[in-house]
Amino acid sequence: MTLLVTGGAGFIGSNFIFHLRRFHPEYRIICLDKLTYAGHLSTLEAVLHDPQFRFIKGDICDAETVQAVFAQEHPEIVVHFAAQSHVDRSIADPDETLRTNIFGTQTLLNACRAFGIGRFHQISTDEVYGDVPLDSTDPEFSESAPLRPSSPYSSSKAGADLLVLAYHRTYGLPVTISRSSNNYGPYQYPEKLIPCMIRNCLQSSPLPVYGSGMHRRDWLHVADHCHALDLVLHSGKDGEIYNIAAHQELCNLDVVRLICRELGKPESCITSVPDRKGHDLRYAIDTSKIRDELGWSPQIPAIDGIRRTVRWYLEHRSWWEAFPTES
Ligand SMILES: NC(=O)c1ccc[n+]([C@@H]2O[C@H](COP(=O)([O-])OP(=O)(O)OC[C@H]3O[C@@H](n4cnc5c(N)ncnc54)[C@H](O)[C@@H]3O)[C@@H](O)[C@H]2O)c1
């Protein structure tokens, strides 16, 4: 079995490659990644010399490159992580976000059509459903809820999801989609909340929190996400969407306070900065489908997982110290 993993030098993609190596050592893995600011070969050091692994530097928007990868490797499964994944960057530069997330996805879908595929799996986000008020008691969004994205990032992911479903309906392409909540864990680029705060604590820099800090996120450890993806790939049904979340909500301020406590820093290091434009308050997704149909359940409690993540960043300073600090 040959799998093509796009964006495998980034956070979730690399963790998924390590998951595959551990649980499916017989699979051949091809990683296609452009190595943007968020992708680093150092992340993949543990597998780079594995004969069952091949790294290809390339852009998913470049049809020639993508077709050449398919022609050489004939992947049976594509797991599509590659994206411009940061909301703030999507607000600053929507063009690049739309190009990568929509046009890049279409380029891959075209190659899947041309060469044939056993499964195209689209990695998506709970952000496509839009946010809910902090005190909402309405039912959570199931997979059939309307899409109501609010940022250029979430709109581009919603657009890509719709294209994936259109290629399934129109051309019969075997596809699945998963929409997960906020991930955290090893190898996350320090522009995202948890690694950014850990890095700033360790460098004795201020800890900037948007607005009131009351925005809530449902934290999912990346290892739990990888197990869910494994189940969807092996037991999920073509044309289906699966929501993935651990139902462990914390507001941003509580996450930062927890990190301060773990690293012995005073809470006075926390500073409020002007809120992100259009900042989503809270997401709420119903995960009964993946739990009931595929038997998935998360294993890592958020407080425990965040503590483990703090220790990981302490023990892997050389990995994140190589990146510019303004990120
Ligand atoms: N991080 C989260 O909390 C989260 C939650 C839900 C969904 N997702 C989705 O999961 C996927 C992975 O997210 P992540 O946090 O690992 O992202 P990331 O930013 O850490 O990694 C993205 C990877 O994609 C690569 N890439 C970007 N543009 C490319 C291009 N044009 N061609 C080839 N490679 C390209 C980058 O080099 C990088 O290695 C994304 O699709 C994202 O939308 C992320």
* pLDDT of the residue at 326: 65
Q: Using CA atoms, how far apart are residues 135 and 327, in angstroms rounded to an integer? A: 32
The secondary structure of 89-139 as a DSSP string is HHHH-HHHHHIIIIIHHHHHHHHHHHH--SEEEEEEEGGGG----TT--SP
What residues pair up with 119 in beta bridges, in sequence order?
77
* pLDDT of the residue at 188: 98
Pocket perturbation via mutation, ligand 1, pick of 6, 11, 88, 181 by most ligand atoms within 8 A of CB? 11
Q: Using CA atoms, how far apart are residues 3 and 26, in angstroms rounded to an integer? A: 11
CA of 38 to the centre of ligand 1 (A): 8
CA of 37 to the centre of ligand 1 (A): 11
One digit per residue, the tens of pLDDT, for the chain of length 327 reads 999 999 999 999 999 999 999 999 999 999 999 999 999 999 999 999 999 999 999 999 999 999 999 999 999 999 999 999 999 999 999 999 999 999 999 999 999 999 999 999 999 999 999 998 898 888 899 999 999 999 999 999 999 999 999 999 999 999 999 999 999 999 999 999 999 999 999 999 999 999 999 999 999 999 999 999 999 999 999 999 999 999 999 999 999 999 999 999 999 999 999 988 888 899 999 999 999 999 999 999 999 999 999 999 999 999 999 999 865
Q: Is the CB of 218 within 6 Å of ligand 1?
A: no
Domains of the chain in start order, with CATH, are 2-184+221-246+279-299 (3.40.50.720)
Pocket perturbation via mutation, ligand 1, pick of 80, 85, 180, 224 by most ligand atoms within 8 A of CB? 85
**Percent of the chain as helix, strand, coil, to the nearest 5:** 45, 20, 40
Token pair of 322 as six digits: 């190589």
Token pair of 5 as six digits: 């993993």
63 Cβ contact list (under 8 Å, min separation 6): 107, 110, 111
Q: Using CA atoms, how far apart are residues 25 and 231, in angstroms rounded to an integer? A: 16
Question: Catalytic site residue 171?
Answer: no
Question: Catalytic site residue 126?
Answer: yes
Radius of gyration of the chain measured on its C-alpha atoms: 19
Q: How much is the pTM? A: 0.97
CA of 137 to the centre of ligand 1 (A): 31
Which amino acid would we find at residue 188? Q
Report angle CA 250, 252, 255 to the nearest 5 degrees: 70
Strands 77-80 and 119-125: parallel
